[in-house]
Amino acid sequence: MALKLTAKRVLEGKKPVVISATVTVPASSPVWGLSLTLTPTDSSIPSAANSSSPPPAEPVPGKPIRQATALLTGQENMLSLIAPCFDSDIARIKKQRLKENEDSWVLESSEFASCANGNEVLTVADDVLSRIQQILALYCNFTPIFSVDCICWINAAGESLRTIRASDTINVTSSKGLAELRSVSEEKPLGSMVFELMTRDAEVDEALTLHGDGGLSWSEVYDIIDFVGGVNSIVKEKYATRKQANSVRQTANHYRHQGSRRKPPLSRNAPTLTQANAFARNILKGWISSRLREDARKSR
């Protein structure tokens, strides 16, 4: 079954956005999976999914479901190794026959009992699986590879149903940043100039490695502030005001000490992590621009 979704415009600077949709069908339905077709649009207003699929079954108001099982997808041999580690009412991984002539790996949990429909079970199952994977990461150096895409459940009225989910990730980019990287200087786009500088300037390479290829944590924001020379250097180079730099640095210092019982005080008007990411990127881009100018002077 395919769902067609219209992707809405999202605020720039956000992390990649996960688009998901669910459909609930009778347990007798042959449908076990969904696929998404994402259609870009300039509209800033979210639109609903278009689908010819049957509407989700309405839960019985105020009544929890009778039973639910979450179907797991992932590496078969790893699931067989992990299953014996989790065998209690709150989190049990086991094999069960859900599809005709086929056994599936499933997740059961007593926490499903409070849910009223399949969508609620999906949310709880995601949380239970996340906690399982945190334990596996600690004890087994495990990288999360499992997911929950389907819930088999019986509603309060005794109907057997199946809630199926499909999801995809959309990378959100800054149009201003793309225009900046496309801008041409000395017959080369900025992106190429920075890339070439990385290959011959170890500090620029270190700076971009420090930033990485995803969103920044509070610790990474703090490290970038230190990397460019700290608050005094940021103010001297006019990357930001002292008030802005102090506020972000103090907030980052507070949150990066997650394991400490006595954290440094939080800044007044503390920025959000999204705002701190934008601040750190701006000062790092300013620092790289200064290295480009210095490199150009040396090559003359």
pLDDT digits 0-9 by tens, 92-106: 999 999 887 789 999
Say if CB 229 and CB 195 are below 8 A apart: no
Q: What is the mean pLDDT of residues 14-23?
A: 68
- Pair 127, 208 in one domain: no
Residue 33, pLDDT above cutoff 90:
no
In percent, the amount of the chain with pLDDT more than 70 equals 82
Q: What is the mean pLDDT of residues 75-88?
A: 92
Domain containing 220 equals 175-299
Phi-psi label, residue 164: left if phi above 0, alpha if psi -120 to 50, beta otherwise: beta
User: How many residues in total does the chain contain?
Assistant: 300
* Model confidence pLDDT, tens digit, residues 102-126: 899 999 999 999 999 999 999 999 9
- Pair 86, 116 in one domain: yes
**Domain endpoint, select from 170, 198, 229:** 170
- Pair 165, 242 in one domain: no
- Pair 166, 206 in one domain: no
Q: How many domains does the structure of the chain reveal?
A: 2
Q: What is the mean pLDDT of residues 196-202?
A: 94
* Model confidence pLDDT, tens digit, residues 176-197: 888 999 999 878 899 999 999 9
Say how far apart CA 245 and CA 59 lie, in whole Å: 51
Residue 14, pLDDT above cutoff 70:
no
- Pair 166, 66 in one domain: yes
- Pair 114, 202 in one domain: no
- Pair 181, 120 in one domain: no
- Pair 204, 292 in one domain: yes
